Amino acid sequence: MFGMEFYVDPSRCIGCQSCLKACEECDTHRGVSMINFDFIDRKESIATAAYVCWHCDDPTCAQVCPADAIKKYEDGIVGSSLKPRCIACSNCVLACPFGIPKIVPQYEQMMKCDMCYDRTSVGKRPMCATVCPSQALAYVKPEVIAARREKPVNTFWFGNQKITTKVYMMAPAEAQEIAIDVADYTWEKNS
């Protein structure tokens, strides 16, 4: 939208959680942060990762929604669930390969990042990208991000499921796509 794209670079995240606070201040979902914030391996490392919804080209969450509550808009944004339709069934939570949708129990509704649709649709940057001090969450023009050492990638493999997204992940320069062996990452694994 307006020539700008969203780029996520977890290697730049310093764990300040400014994005969470900025997201909470948004008028459309006041008090509830939609940033997915992770401590990668808290026992061994201080590394953190903050990321937003990837806005898949063919959103799995919307495909599995039985209530027709999740829509992909014409400018590529996958919206949060529509309040009159969402039945809080958690299908999207289970289906999303990125683990983005979250059920908010007090509202009995799934809420997820809609890339600050109220802001980005009028040319402003999303709240999180405006506050991120290290630009781990960046909403810039492609020529700006091209100056970085990493390369933006928006093709993901989860096992045999190929997903292309609107939001880019900053990957090593030689990477073409990001493949994740789902079984290998399952936390129940005994190794």
Binder among 19, 22, 36, 59 for other proteins (CB under 8 A)? 59
HSE value, Cβ hemisphere, 13 Å, CA-based, for 5 = 19
Applying CB under 8 A, does 181 fall inside the site for other proteins? no
Question: How many Cβ atoms are within 10 Å of 117's Cβ, its own excluded?
Answer: 18
- What number of chain residues touch other proteins (CB under 8 A)? 10
Q: Measured from the CB of residue 54, what is the shortest distance to other proteins in angstroms?
A: 15
Q: Measured from the CB of residue 3, what is the shortest distance to other proteins in angstroms?
A: 20
Binder among 39, 46, 73, 146 for other proteins (CB under 8 A)? 73
Q: Give exposure, 160-169, as e/b (b: 16+ Cβ within 10 Å).
A: eeebebbbbb
* 111 DSSP β-pair partners: 102
Q: Measured from the CB of residue 65, what is the shortest distance to other proteins in angstroms?
A: 8
Binder among 71, 124, 148, 151 for other proteins (CB under 8 A)? 71
* 37 DSSP β-pair partners: 50
